[in-house]
Chains A and B, each alone.
Chain A
Amino acid sequence: MLYHRAVDPAVVTNFQRGHPDAVREVYDTFGRLVYTVANRILNNRSLAEEATQQTFVQAWRGAASFDPNRELGPWLATIARRVAIDIHRREARRPTVPIDSVSPTDRTLVALPPSAEQTYEVWQVREAIDSLPPDEREIVRLQHLGELTQGEIAVKLDIPLGTVKSRSHRAHKSLAIRLGHLRAGGEPE
């Protein structure tokens, strides 16, 4: 099982017709993932939101060619990647700051756009993060994004260290299982 989010084929059919409620349902299911893919490429919230909007518009334009029985997620991820790359190229043609003032580690300066594989890896990881219970998600966020130790997290959240350890273990076990198929030789659970 690949844990892909999915919507009912009837919703896809209504999306093809441009029904607002179907667009909302598709957005509710995939919007955050589309945004994450775009944000990963563009590293800019405003542009990522623009890319998300364009992705859904382009998806509607192309929806007539889409088989409602196929998975919508990978298709949207592909569109999101291309839209974000187009926006990235557009923005790259408009340098607004002297090159000397750009950090050498600025992603827009040093990174190539992610491949389709990397794009879908981002999609999968975000999906796995979102699947965690809020208390476990917060622990993982503080560990990885906040770079805090478990002891520091216990102090920050004012909870026992043992609780942090158990939540962290559960959360990372869940991530390892859900994302095991991303690893070398890993098979989907």
Chain B
Amino acid sequence: MDGEDEVIDYLSGEVTDHALDPLLAADLDDLNALLADPALWDDPAGDLRERVVLAVEAEVGASAAPPVAVVATADSAAPGRRSTPRKKRWAAWLGPGLIGAAAAGLIAFAVTRSTDDGSQRASDGTIELHGTDLLPQVSGKAEVTSLQSGLWIQFDVPGMPRREGDDFYQAWLRSADGKLLVPIGSFHEGDHVSLWAGVSIEDFPILTVTKETAAAPDSPDQGSSGEVVVRGQYDEP
């Protein structure tokens, strides 16, 4: 290492004057820039793990013969094309992994695969959705699929004006008598949204979407605003 303590001190920002090789200093600057990037320190929501599992489970169930996507192609796995010697050393380091990935992608071939129990998990039905007077120009649908882990609702209502910052849309399932309300997810806009519910669609057949604004946990504004912008009802097939 090029003066180990000097590298460590430079990396920790404890020196302003140094005698490091300029290329090495530049690399350490790159590393420091990454260490200062919030994206490198952020963690996903805790429930993402189960959302991933459910999404893969749904994919497995929905397709007895899934298409095999060529997910690693030459352009994404050709780090050796960089021109500088510095980056060529990068390529040598990257070699086994990404070149392998490229090979895997290039030789991808279609296969037929069935689920473990040989079954196909189909949608339970579709909810036709329409904008209310607050958003009369939109319409769409939600496809409902019962999985072992919960109810997966693929919501798609194009054209809903984007809400972001403290503002968002909140989706709900409401019981048939209107007395019970279950939150099933929040989102910015209505294109291709995955919602999840831990109740049955038969017991909670009414799907609504409201306009919401973030509020403190003890705020009276927690819960539905009542400003329903999209509504639909599940009818058993």
Query: Contact: A173 with B39, CB < 8 Å?
Result: no
Query: Contact: A65 with B107, CB < 8 Å?
Result: yes
B87 to chain A, nearest CB (A): 7
Proximity bits, A57-82, B CB within 8 Å = 1, else 0: 11111101111001101110011011
Proximity bits, B8-44, A CB within 8 Å = 1, else 0: 1001111000000101101110111011111111111
Residue in B13, B41, B188 whose CB lies within 8 Å of A145: B41
Write out the residue numbers on chain B whose beta carbons fall within 8 Å of the beta carbon of A186: 27, 89
Most buried by B among A61, A71, A140, A141: A61
Whether A32 contacts B52 in the complex (CB less than 8 A), given A61-B66, A71-B100, comes out as: no
Cα(A73)–Cα(B72), bound, Å: 13
Does residue B180 face the partner (Cβ distance < 8 Å to A)? no
Write out the residue numbers on chain A whose beta carbons fall within 8 Å of the beta carbon of B98: 74, 78, 116, 120
Interface with A: B55-63, B127-135, B171-179, B212-220, which one? B55-63
Query: Contact: A173 with B59, CB < 8 Å?
Result: no
Q: How many residues of B contact A (CB 8 A)?
A: 78
Does residue A46 face the partner (Cβ distance < 8 Å to B)? yes
Query: Contact: B69 with A61, CB < 8 Å?
Result: yes
A98 to chain B, nearest CB (A): 13
CB neighbors of B among A165-189 (8 A)? 168-169, 171-173, 175-176, 179-186, 188
Query: Contact: B8 with A172, CB < 8 Å?
Result: yes
Q: How many residues of A contact B (CB 8 A)?
A: 78
Most buried by A among B35, B36, B189: B35
Whether A120 contacts B52 in the complex (CB less than 8 A), given A48-B44, A78-B72, A125-B35, comes out as: no
Does residue A45 face the partner (Cβ distance < 8 Å to B)? yes
Query: Contact: B44 with A65, CB < 8 Å?
Result: no
B66 to chain A, nearest CB (A): 5
Residue in A61, A67, A175, A176 whose CB lies within 8 Å of B67: A61
Write out the residue numbers on chain B whose beta carbons fall within 8 Å of the beta carbon of A120: 79, 94, 97-98
Write out the residue numbers on chain A whose beta carbons fall within 8 Å of the beta carbon of B52: 23, 27, 31, 52-53, 56
Residues of B bordering A, CB below 8 Å: 1, 4, 7-8, 11-14, 21, 23-24, 26-28, 30-32, 34-45, 48-49, 51-53, 55-57, 59-60, 66-72, 76-79, 82, 86-87, 89-91, 93-94, 96-98, 100-101, 104-105, 107-109, 111, 113, 115-116, 162, 164, 187-189, 194
6 nearest A-B pairs in the assembled complex, by CB-CB distance: A74-B97, A18-B60, A144-B35, A65-B108, A62-B71, A39-B39
